Amino acid sequence: MSNIFDHEHMRKELLDWIDNYGEGVKKMFDQQKVAQEVFNLTKNYWTTTMDMMSTFQEQNEKVWNTLLDQGLVAQNEGKKMLQDWLNRSKQAQEQFTKTMEDNWKKAETAFGSTKTTK
């Protein structure tokens, strides 16, 4: 007669629980899914940061153009120098953004995902 306090019974119940728990953990923490979620989170963070920096760049450019147009900051050569600086800053930002977007696409391919979030 088997008793619930019998060692064999307890051993079997414990092993069954571990097997069932292990399957749940495997499903919950599938490494590929976790890596994909971390990747998506990182990409979303990067996209948000770049959008914010782009907005900041545009606002900064507007302020400088207003100051240059009103002649409050510089005259002739100074205006040319500051305008050149603004143009180079914008080009550098666009180039960096394009390079990073290309790298994100490569990483998405490596993860087997074509999902893009913004």
Q: What is the rounded average pLDDT of the residues 98-105?
A: 90
| Residue 86 or residue 33, greater confidence | 86
Are the beta carbons of 117 and 44 closer than 8 angstroms? yes
Q: What is the rounded average pLDDT of the residues 94-100?
A: 91
- Convert the pLDDT of each residue in 24-72 to its tens digit: 666 666 777 777 888 888 888 888 988 898 899 889 888 888 887 777 5
Are the beta carbons of 36 and 113 closer than 8 angstroms? yes
How many residues are listed for the chain in this entry?
118
Please give the pLDDT value at position 2.
54
